[in-house]
Amino acid sequence: MLARALPLFFVLIWSTGFIAARLVTPYADPLTFLCYRYLLTAAAFVVIAIAVGAPWPHGLRAWTNALVAGVLLQGIYLGGVFWAVNEGLPAGVAALVVGLQPLLTAALAFPLLGETVGTRKWVGIALGFGGAMLVLEPRLAVDMAELSPGPLLAVFAAMLGITLGTIWQKRTGAAADIRTNAAVQFIGAALMTTPVALWLESGRFETTWQAWTGLLWSSLGLSVGAISLLLFLIRRGSVASVASLFYLVPPVVAVFAYLLFNETLNTLQIIGMGVAVAGVAIASRTGRAAVA
């Protein structure tokens, strides 16, 4: 029962990241904020690993694999999205581009991992994409008129980062301890992001309750909680099924925005939520023909 609820817990926690970003954005430079987040998260995982005696990666290759996963899953993905949105890329467009990730993951699953993505799973992924786009539709009509090439390229890089990071983690991290593997991943993300932040930003992080609340939740709730769940889900399931879960994020974020910020929620969006849920359910369903 608990195992079946883990994907739902992951989506709920992951979706709060957009609320935390909205809270923090006025008070901190995006890459500077991410550097603090990575370092605090790495420290938390190190403390947890030491407390439980978790084994660390053995050998240079294992450390390199974890560092590369961190650069892709955290550094490039989060860095690209945060920077692009801060530079003016509309959130709806960012969500649309990132929404291509499950499609690309499914396309690469067989050539890179040997995982078969059958017709049922493709139908579910397509439905999930369509449902997510219906949820985003009210913003997309406005957002498409506000595009600029730099931020758009950054969010495409972010989408590629999380796609390749998911596949890399599945391929190289199956036997790794999740706690120490995550600690090394966030060290890798910090090593990549810190020099870029020093180059592009002034290091602004205002000591307001909004900035600190966003940092603590992003580090301990999102990065420790959601990333641990993501790594666990990647280990136990196909990458296409795990990637399809991201289609539930726009519906959940829309509900959060409706409840917390009084944003509108129209009939088309509600229909989209239902379509996205149905698509993810179809894509995630396991059967005798499914590849785990």
pLDDT tens across 181-220, in order? Answer: 999 999 999 999 999 999 999 999 999 999 999 999 999 9
Distance, CA of 134 to CA of 271 (rounded, Å):
8
272 HSE (CA, 13 A, CB side): 24
Question: For residue 209, is it within any domain?
Answer: yes
Does some domain include residue 290?
no
292 within some domain? no
Distance CA 188, CA 184 (A): 6
How far apart (Å, rounded) are the C-alpha atoms in residues 113 and 115?
5
Residue 289 covered by a domain: no
Q: What is the pTM of this model?
A: 0.85
Tokens, residue 137: 């539709």
For residue 130 the two structure tokens come to 């369509």
| Distance from C-alpha of 93 to C-alpha of 140, rounded to nearest angstrom | 6
Q: How confident is the model at residue 160 (pLDDT cuts 50, 70, 90)?
A: very high
How many domains, in total, are found in the chain? 1
- The pLDDT tens digits of the residues spanning 103-120 come to 888 888 888 888 878 888
278 located within any domain: yes
Provide the domain limits for residue 128.
Answer: 2-284
Task: Give the ranges where the chain is alpha helix by DSSP (H).
Answer: 2-24, 30-52, 59-70, 77-86, 91-98, 101-113, 119-143, 149-172, 178-200, 209-216, 227-236, 239-244, 249-261, 267-284
Q: Supply the DSSP symbol for 205.
A: B
Contacts of residue 164, defined as CB under 8 A and 6 or more positions apart, other chains included, come to 72
